[in-house]
Amino acid sequence: MAAARGPGSVLFSGFRALGLYSNHLPHVVRFHEKHRDFYVVTSVGNCFHTYNASKLGIVAVSNSLSEDISCLAADRMLVFVAHGRKVSAFARNKEVVHQYEGHSADVHLLLTFGEHMISADRDGVLVVWDVAAEEEYLRLQFDPTTFNLSAMMHPSTYLNKVLLGSSQGALQLWNIKSNKLLYTFPGWSAGVTVLHQSPAVDVVGVGLTSGQIFIHNIKLDETLMSFMQEWGPITSLAFRTDGPPIMAASSPQGHIAFWDLEKQQLLNQLRHAHGTAVAAVTFLHRQPLLVTNGADNSIKVWIFDQEGGGARLLRSRQGHSAPPTTIRHHGNNGQNILSAGQDGTLQSFSCLHERFNKNLGHGSINKKKAKRKGLSYEELRLPAITTFASESARQSDWDGIVACHRGHLATSTWSYQRCTMGTHRLEPERFHRDRSLAVHAIAVDITSCGNFAVVGLSSGHVDIYNLQSGLHRGQYGADTAHQGAVQGVAVDGLNQVTVSVGSDRLLKTWRFKSRKLVNVLELEASPARILLHRDSGMLAVALDDFTLNVVDLETRRIVRKFSGHRGQINDMTFSPDGRWLVTAAMDCTIRTWDLPSGCLIDCFLVETAAVSVSFSPTADFLATTHVNSLGIYLWSNSSLCSLVSLRPLPADYEPATVMLPGTAPSQDKDGQEEEVGGAGDEHMQEYESPEQLERHLVTLSLLPDSRWKNLLNLDLIKRRNKPKEPPKAPQATPFFLPTVAGLNPTFSLPETSEQDTQSKVVNFGVLAQKTLFYTALESALDTDTYGEAVGLLKNLGPSAIDAELRSLSPDMGGSPAVLLAFIRMVDSMLTGGRDYDLAQAYLALFLKLHLRLLSRDTAAMDALLRLSSHVEAGWEELQTSFNQSLCLLAYTKSALL
């Protein structure tokens, strides 16, 4: 039997990605004449972002492409993007307006050239395109073994000329219009990486793979000056145009050097400007501002206002330079996500706007010592954060974040308000004498009040610290809490119970204040991590055998067991109401388990395994991070805005692969945006509720109370609403009032006819005919089915029901047989348990109108006695259920939990 394959996730749909700003590709700077501002364009995967240089605020995000971007270029109107073998032109920084196809290899160089655009691929093919017509203007073929294209530029004032650089070191000057090679520069013994126009005409800057920089006059083929950098190949060059003759040169190590062209010497250097290679540097025209971007996922703007020509950081947008490992929502509004990455930094990303992002920095072992002795940043920085816990209750008073570092014994504290590392180092004194022990912190949790932190160590110790003073307040257990490494710790919401699990397969419950052992629960396998939902008291335990156990802290028993993952469980998170448990594992699946039913209700597959997940406190988004990915991906909860089928998934369910959300809406092949949340609509069947669930249950009608509740008081309502005097109809006044001819003008009144003075009271004798309800009751005497009669009554209003029941009397044209049929109809309604409220209301009105007449009929009295026994039996059963529910509710309110 084939396994069931699903359409993807029915609960979560991709929304957007956070924390992605730049990659290894050089940025492009454009100037908008109308806005009088510069715009910076950076590549992020298969789309690009546009930022204004004045505030580095994001202006636009382009539509996604089918492949990752390999090169960027821009002119006054369009942004050109190379992806694979194609080149696309974007208008308004968003949509594709032109596409250029013709390369047989991947395009890696682009250059805008007036009304033309030049592209070069890896096979040495250079194509000149007519931008508007999307046609080839010229095609050149170079042999990669002798002249491998590595750089292109258009020299200023050189009409129709293009200067090409090669990885062999030679340069060639071409006339594009006449398709002629004008001159070949022998170059130098190293490959050309950068060609950049200087402010002087005929002079260009040439950067080589050897770290050399040559300022060369291409008109005279003469080298004016040269510089040497020892940081590796030159990745980018830029010249200041606001006065000082300064050239900036970047390197793969993240350093930037500033050279004085007049004195021909090094003026200044900016070390560790980026954590990785600097992709590009650009001086804004006639401004002392330098824009840089790098592969460390950052964009920075530097201003030159320091003494000696130095630069300082003015503004920046940066994310993690290495994949994040742990994410958690901070606060109760669900707007901020704390993220710890492999680069050792702790950052906060806002779901609302990027201007609310915070960078808490990189932890250091001793900040005061580093400042006093002038030690380098690399020598004293802490390892990457493996896990952390945060609490916003007292974050304005003292540190509210505690983090564990890889292979480090002491845990660090962080302040979210001050955006920096705290002053406390939570480390027990028992290991001060013997530093050779390889003991490190593994698990941490903060109490809901924000006063205490509980830390679990690899030695089996579980310690408690005061966050305000940073002092050690005790430990759990006489010697150690566990015989092996502690894998997880958690504290309940009332600071009554502390839970710890270790590699000894034991789950121990402790009194938080007295630190006494309360209960020990043995697990089937070694635990990997735990997660506590404080509101419900449910503890999720992930085991090494890829299964999940859910423990109720009140009863201290395992209440749910889940299995289905085929790899190590990396992380898990509860929904805010505690109903769902979302887990992520190395099998690249993200599964959602429903705790009340104990079933798997959602599962989808991603391209790379998720390493951390976090559910928003407002239940609107699920945040995930993935292997080898720098971003944080948000998935919207579809159940908040649409009807979602939560049927249990079969055991052989095979999830479909879902693409990670991008910074822009993804598109299909036709260019239309994909529908969000519609994957499971065709597989979802609308539930139709039966008329009655069970025969022994009482079913009420869904009619409004006004249709049956006031049937007994209908006479009183009519008497109360009776007008005090009959209404007087106003005399009809025509538009032109007729007058009688004479000296004194008088209005002529209309003549009253005999028909107008006739009484409008209808004689009841005229209506002596059977109604539909009366006919249905007569036919029910033979068939003994009263469904049609009940349906007719349910469609009538209170006054019509009163008139129908009055017409059953022999004085109004009825008969004793029809009265008996009505009694049997009510009896069938009570016996079947359907429309219980209507049956009681109809019976009460019927007895009020005809009880004296029925007391004279023996057959009717026998039917009423049987009906009375049915009413009493049904009420006794209902009263018993009511009393049991009220008793249980009273006990729940008064019991001490």
Which of 303, 323, 305, 327 shows the shortest CA–CA distance to 313? 303
pLDDT, residue 678, reads 43
Residue-level pLDDT at 672: 44
Residue among 476, 399, 479, 489 nearest 442 (CA): 489
Provide the 3-class DSSP secondary structure of residue 701: coil
Does residue 679 have a pLDDT over 70? no
Confidence band of 680 (pLDDT split at 50, 70, 90): very low
Supply angle C-alpha 478, 481, 482, rounded to 5. Answer: 130
Mean pLDDT of 805-810: 86
Average pLDDT over residues 208-221: 95
Among 459-473, 576-590, 743-757, the least confident range: 743-757
Average pLDDT of the residues in 549-561: 94
Lowest mean pLDDT among 481-490, 691-700, 760-769, 778-787: 760-769
Q: For residue 392, how many other CB atoms are within 10 A of its CB? A: 17
pLDDT at 817: 87
pLDDT at 673: 42
**pLDDT at position 813:** 80
pLDDT at 345 over 80: yes
439 Cβ contact list (under 8 Å, min separation 6) = 409, 431, 457, 458, 459
Average pLDDT over residues 573-589: 95
- Asked whether residue 535 carries a pLDDT value surpassing 90, the answer given is yes
> Counting beta carbons within 10 angstroms of the beta carbon of residue 301, is it exposed (0 to 12), middle (13 to 18) or buried (19 or more)?
buried
State residue 667's pLDDT score. Answer: 46
Among the residue ranges 107-116, 163-172, 345-354, 793-802, the one predicted with the least confidence is 793-802
d(CA 793, CA 804): 9
CA 117 to CA 127: how far, in whole Å? Answer: 8
Q: Read off the DSSP letter of residue 770.
A: -
Predicted confidence (pLDDT) per residue in 71-86, tens digit: 999 998 899 999 999 9
pTM: 0.77
pLDDT recorded at residue 771: 85
Q: Does the structure show a pLDDT above 60 at 5?
A: no
For 13-82, the DSSP string reads EEEEEES----SSPPEEEEETTTTEEEEEEEETTEEEEEETTT--EEEEPPP-SS---EEEE-SSEEEEE
User: Which of 557, 547, 542 minimizes the C-alpha distance to 509?
Assistant: 557
Average pLDDT, the chain: 88
State mean pLDDT over 763-786: 76
pLDDT at 677 > cutoff 50: no
Asked if 545 and 505 touch (Cβ cutoff 8 Å), the reply is: no
What mean pLDDT comes out for the span 246-266? 94
Token look-up 């490959």 returns 191
Three-state DSSP at 707 gives helix
Residue 676 has pLDDT above 60, yes or no: no
17-39: average pLDDT: 92
pLDDT of residue 768: 52
Confidence of residue 160 (pLDDT cuts 50, 70, 90): very high
CA torsion 162→167→171→175, rounded to 10°? -30
Q: Say how many CA atoms lie within 13 Å of 569 toward its Cβ.
A: 28
Contacting residues for 769 by C-beta, under 8 A, at least 6 apart: none
pLDDT at residue 137 above 90? yes
pLDDT (mean) for 39-55: 93
pLDDT of residue 706: 84
Measured in whole angstroms, how far is the alpha carbon of residue 440 from the centre of its chain? 34
At 632-673, the pLDDT tens digits run 999 999 999 888 878 899 888 888 899 988 875 444 444 444
pLDDT confidence of 759, banded at 50, 70, 90? Answer: low
Q: List the Cα angle 551/404/401 in 5-degree steps.
A: 85
For Cα atoms 198, 199, 201, give the angle at the middle one, nearest 5 degrees: 85
Dihedral through CA 432, CA 437, CA 438, CA 440, nearest 10? -30
Angstrom distance (rounded) from CA 761 to CA 135: 91
Which H/E stretch holds residue 648?
A: none
The Cα–Cα gap between 672 and 668 comes to 6
Rounded average pLDDT over 392-399: 92
Predicted local confidence at residue 687, as pLDDT: 62
pLDDT at 698 (0 to 100):
82
Tens digit of each residue's pLDDT (9 = 90 or more) over 836-883:
888 888 888 888 888 888 888 888 888 888 888 888 888 888 888 889
The pLDDT tens digits for 69-126 are: 999 999 988 999 999 999 999 998 889 999 999 999 999 999 998 899 999 999 999 9
Least confident piece of the model among 98-112, 248-262, 437-451, 666-680: 666-680
Structure tokens at 305: 């206002």
Task: Return the minimum-mean-pLDDT range out of 195-204, 507-516, 630-639, 827-836.
Answer: 827-836
Instruction: For residue 755, name the pLDDT band (cuts at 50, 70, 90).
Output: low
Percentage of residues of the chain with pLDDT beyond 70: 90
Concatenated DSSP letters of 154-186:
--TT-TTEEEEEETTS-EEEEETTTTEEEEEE-
Main-chain dihedrals φ then ψ at residue 509, nearest 5 degrees: -110, 130
Residue with structure tokens 């020509």? 309
Contact between residue 293 and residue 42 where contact means Cβ atoms under 8 Å apart: yes
Please give the residue that has the higher pLDDT: either 762 or 193.
193
> What is the 3 state secondary structure string of 355-402?
HHCEEEEECECCHHHHHHHCCCHHHHECCCEEEEEECCCCCCCCCCEE
Distance CA 601, CA 645 (A): 9
When pLDDT is cut at 50, 70 and 90, the band that residue 367 belongs to is low
